[in-house]
Amino acid sequence: MMPRRNKISLIASQALMILMVVGGIANAQTTNHGLMTIKEGTTVSTLFALEISKDGSMVNDGDLYVYSHFRNDGKVSFTKGSNGGMTRFVGFSGIQEITGSQVAELNDVLFDNGNDQYAFHLGGGLSVAGNGDFSRGIVQGDEYGGRIIFENGATHSNTSDDSHVDGLIQKNGNDDFVCPVGDGGYFRRDGMSYSPAGVLYSAETKYFFEDPDPSYPRAKRESQIQAIDDSEYWVLSWISGGGQDIDVMLSWRDVTTPAFILGEEKSNIHIAKWNEEEDQWMDLGGVVDAENYTVTAKAQLNVRGVYTFALVQSGTTDLRVTKTSFEKVVWEGDELEYEIRVQNNSEANATDVVLVDNLPPGTRYKEMTVESAFGLLEYELEVSGQTLMWSIPEFLAGDEMVITLIITTEKEGTIMNAVNVNSAEEDTNPEDNEDQDINKVNKFFVPNVITPNGDLENDTFIINGLNRFKENRITIFNRLGDHVFEAEDYQNDWAAKGLVDGTYFYVLEVLFENGEQDEFKGWVQVTTDPLK
């Protein structure tokens, strides 16, 4: 018997019509060139391939069983508001090919084929307005270029590792939707939620059970991201309509999601998106639903977006800062050395750390050195007036930063130096995030007695605060007016060597930074007897 070519209108309320070919002829099929209407309450079955030609159409308001291949090059639809419209792809003897150049608009759809893991080869388009029942068999569209479109209000059921869509899924509408997508034999649902009521959109998604690294390097990531999922990623793409604010939901499973991402603290799992402009993974944050194994984050869904899981730093850290000048005695013009220590006492890295030191009036920044316990610390220093600010992108857990800070003093008085540290994370112990050091700058002072007896105490003529001057010249002479010592840029090293005890006189000529000159005169007693 040759293949039949039918032009049929089925109107009986309870009719059963079987379109079939017998005799074992290969490539047997039923081809529709005209209008085929399946009324409500009517069941139609075809044991062999069903083809809707480019000049044919089919309206299914009843119950259609397709036991073999299906091809649509014409128009397939159903009557909106009808109580029927079920299309059942039921495996009869092997893999079923679903192809065609036109999208078949279906109401309810059943996929039930246990002949092969990838029982359905989807090379065309299917639009589902009602429910997609994934009973048995994976719908493989990835290798064949097909897609399933879920319209506004559509649902799906019975998804599992044994039955889902491996390939592109398109979602039209404005309702929340979880996509029955997977890859490699694993069901790996994702979801999208679009908030503006009444605004329609169209987007598509696909899951990849593979390392994103070749195309989207995992090492390129924001500083707060510890690691990127190396086993899977999703592509969610905006097609048309509405705005671009959307909630993206990804699901995790221990059979595909690596253990280093899942860890013990599920709260540390975020969604990351590949940023094309910055050429790195960007942390989108995420709300974790541990009961349903999902993370949801708000995203700007663009033409093509790549998403996966990221392990981020804990939401808290514990930084501590201390500052001291070790109570060093300071005179006008002297340099003063501070030590600033910053410690990360938490088990999580701190990110975007900012250390601010406010130098007191009457002091000036000169120089500094930085060391860290791990030797891996990176920072930038910005000096703005009396404010010093260190920016540290990542401060490793357990690390310590030691800053040796040198300032110069300009005038006498009490100096109070405050420092504080903060990070992007909440600090569990903010009380130790700031510290201060109080010291005193003493007035310029010339002593009037020295005891050069070799006991290393007061052995030389030390003029405290001599550093406050740009230049100096000193002349020392005896009672007869004889010069016994002269020096420019005096180094506080005159010890009256070879001179007898007695009274000597000095003239100190100085030049200030602003160009002004001054002269100090006085006397100094030299005695080898220790001071009592």
95 with 115, same domain?
yes
CA gap 271, 275 in Å, rounded: 13
120, 141, 166 — which closes off a domain? 166
User: What is the pTM assigned to this prediction?
Assistant: 0.61
Confidence bin at 4 (pLDDT 50/70/90): very low
151 with 31, same domain?
yes
Judged by DSSP in three states, 427 sits in strand
What 8-state DSSP symbol labels residue 530? P
Which amino acid appears at position 258 of this protein? P
Q: What is the mean pLDDT of residues 214-225?
A: 91
Confidence bin at 265 (pLDDT 50/70/90): confident
Sequence length of the chain is: 532
455 with 437, same domain?
no
- pLDDT score for 424: 86
User: Does residue 307 form part of some domain?
Assistant: no
474 with 428, same domain?
no
User: Does residue 122 form part of some domain?
Assistant: yes
User: Does residue 264 form part of some domain?
Assistant: no
476 with 333, same domain?
no
Pairing of strands 517-526, 483-488: unpaired
Enclosing domain of residue 364: 316-442
411 with 509, same domain?
no
419 with 362, same domain?
yes
Asked whether residue 10 carries a pLDDT value surpassing 70, the answer given is: no
What 8-state DSSP symbol labels residue 431? G
Hey, what are 470's tokens? 């740009």
For residue 420, what are the β-bridge partners?
Answer: 356, 434
User: Does residue 263 form part of some domain?
Assistant: no
Q: Are 530 and 457 in contact (CB under 8 A)?
A: yes
126, 147, 166 — which closes off a domain? 166
Confidence bin at 266 (pLDDT 50/70/90): confident
Q: What is the mean pLDDT of residues 120-149?
A: 97
Q: Which of 2-16, 119-133, 437-451 tops mean pLDDT?
A: 119-133
513 with 456, same domain?
yes
Asked whether residue 17 carries a pLDDT value surpassing 80, the answer given is: no
398 with 330, same domain?
yes
Q: Are 106 and 89 in contact (CB under 8 A)?
A: no
- pLDDT score for 197: 59
User: Does residue 144 form part of some domain?
Assistant: yes
* Residue 350: CATH number of its domain: 2.60.40.1510
For 165-183, the pLDDT digits (tens) are 999 999 998 888 999 999 9
Asked whether residue 11 carries a pLDDT value surpassing 60, the answer given is: no
Q: Are 345 and 322 in contact (CB under 8 A)?
A: no
Asked whether residue 9 carries a pLDDT value surpassing 60, the answer given is: no
Confidence bin at 14 (pLDDT 50/70/90): very low
Asked whether residue 1 carries a pLDDT value surpassing 70, the answer given is: no
Q: Is 37 exposed, middle or buried (0-12, 13-18, 19+ CB in 10 A)?
A: middle
The CA–CA distances, whole Å, from 248 to 148, 174, 189 equal: 19, 14, 11
15 with 161, same domain?
yes
Asked whether residue 195 carries a pLDDT value surpassing 70, the answer given is: no
424 with 491, same domain?
no
For 495-522, the pLDDT digits (tens) are 999 999 999 999 999 998 888 898 999 9
- pLDDT score for 387: 96
Q: Is 240 exposed, middle or buried (0-12, 13-18, 19+ CB in 10 A)?
A: exposed
Q: Are 290 and 262 in contact (CB under 8 A)?
A: no
127, 144, 166 — which closes off a domain? 166
Q: Are 82 and 111 in contact (CB under 8 A)?
A: no
Asked whether residue 280 carries a pLDDT value surpassing 90, the answer given is: yes
User: Does residue 148 form part of some domain?
Assistant: yes
Asked whether residue 465 carries a pLDDT value surpassing 90, the answer given is: no
Asked whether residue 269 carries a pLDDT value surpassing 60, the answer given is: yes
The CA–CA distances, whole Å, from 497 to 133, 475, 503, 525 equal: 106, 15, 14, 14
351 with 499, same domain?
no
User: Does residue 412 form part of some domain?
Assistant: yes
- pLDDT score for 15: 32
| Residue, of 332 and 431, whose pLDDT is higher | 431
Q: What is the mean pLDDT of residues 304-310?
A: 94
User: Does residue 299 form part of some domain?
Assistant: no
Pairing of strands 330-331, 5-6: unpaired
Asked whether residue 136 carries a pLDDT value surpassing 90, the answer given is: yes
How many structural domains does the chain have? 3
- pLDDT score for 8: 40
* Residue 485: CATH number of its domain: 2.60.40.1220
Hey, what are 130's tokens? 């009602």
